[in-house]
Amino acid sequence: MRHTIVPPYLLRRLTTLEDPAMAHVAQAARESLAMDESIRQKRAVAGEEGARRGARRLEPPARSIFDAEQSETLPGTLVRSEGEQAGPDIAVGEAYDGFGHTHALFREVYGRASIDDDNLPLLGTVHFGRDYENAFWDGQRMVFGDGDGMVFGRFTASLSVIGHELAHGVTQYTANLIYRGQSGALNESISDVFGALVEQRVLGHTAETASWIIGAGLFTDRVQGLGLRSMKAPGTAYDDDILGKDPQPDSMNGYIDTVSDNGGVHLNSGIPNRAFYLAAAAIGGDAWSSAGQIWYDTVSGGTIPASSDFITFARATAGAAADRFGAHSIEHAAVTEAWATVGLGM
C-alpha cells in the first residue's frame, strides 16, 4: 500500500477548480490522483512480512538519493550516496538531511536501528513525475514530487513530511496497522506524531513552543493555510478558497464515518493526533522523550493488533506509560486524560 502525505479528498477538491488561471493546478491534481491509483497496490514484500530482527547494531544512516528527472520510473538515477558532499540540487539536499534527522531520532532517542530495526538503508527519489502533488512511502523507499508551483511547492521542503513518511516504514515493521478505518487512522496519526517530533527535535522546540503543524512549508503564498494538518487543533490547518476548510475532527463527537479515503484515514487521524498533543503538553518539556517514548513503546511493543481501533490503542498507551513511568506518574495521568478529552475515556 502506498502511503501518501496529501489526502485524496484534497486533491479531488483541486480537480474541480474552474478558474482558467488554475487549469494547470486542476490538471496536475487529476494526474497525481491517477498516478496514486495506478500503483496503489504495489508494495514491497518486506512490508507484508513485518518486522525483521537482526543483530541490534546501531549503525549510522545509509542514505541513497535518486533523481527521477520528472519521470515515473523508480528509482531513477543515483545522485547522492551516504557521506558525499551536497550538490546544487536543493531537493536532493533536503531529502538527504531529512533522512538523517529522522534516523537520528529513532536511533538516539529510541535505540532503533533504522526503519526496520536492522539498519535498513534509507532510499529516496526526488523529482518524481511532472507537477506531482504528493510524497509517499511505498514500503521500500520514499518518493517526492515537486508540486504544481501554484498550490504546492516541492515536498522535500517539509521535515515533518519526511519524518511522517519514513515513520510509515517503522509502523510497517512493528504494529503493521491495517490501512483502513480506525487502524488506518492510527497508522496516519503515528506518522504525524513522529514527523512532528523529528521537526521539533531539530528545531529545539518544546511541546509548548512547537507549531504542531504537519506539512509546514508545502503551500505556496497563494494558499491561506499553515500546512496539511494541525495536531494541536485539528480542523484549523487551512481555510482557503482553493482548498476549502480543513475537515479533520478533533474528538469522537465529530468522527467521520465514510468509505472514501480508506475509511477516513486522513480525516479521523485528527482525533488521536490531538490526544498525543494534549498528553505531550500536559507532561511538558520536549515531547520526543516523554509522550513520544510512550507512543514508540506502544507501536513497537507487540501489544496491539494490526486491526487496532482507537480505544485499544488508547489503553495500550496508558499501559505503556504505566510500565515506563509508573501507574501514578504525571505521564500516565496525562495520557489517560488526553484520551478522555477526545472522547475515549478508559
Question: Is-contact 139 74, C-beta < 8 A?
Answer: no
Helices 310-325 and 330-341: angle between axes, nearest 10 degrees: 170
97 contacts: CB under 8 Å, gap ≥ 6: none
Say how many C-beta atoms besides its own lie within 10 A of residue 328's C-beta: 8
Residues 212-246: b if buried by 16+ CB within 10 A, e if exposed = bbbbbbbbeeebebbbbbbbbbbbbbbebebbeeb
> What is the rounded CA–CA span in Å between residue 246 and residue 237?
6
> Which one of 31, 94, 165, 199 is the catalytic residue?
165
DSSP assigned state of 303: -
199: cell is 521537526
Establish whether 165 is a catalytic residue.
yes
Establish whether 266 is a catalytic residue.
yes
> Which one of 3, 266, 331, 332 is the catalytic residue?
266
274: cell is 490531538
Residues in a beta bridge with 239: 245
140 contacts: CB under 8 Å, gap ≥ 6: 44, 46, 47, 123
Active site residues: 165, 266
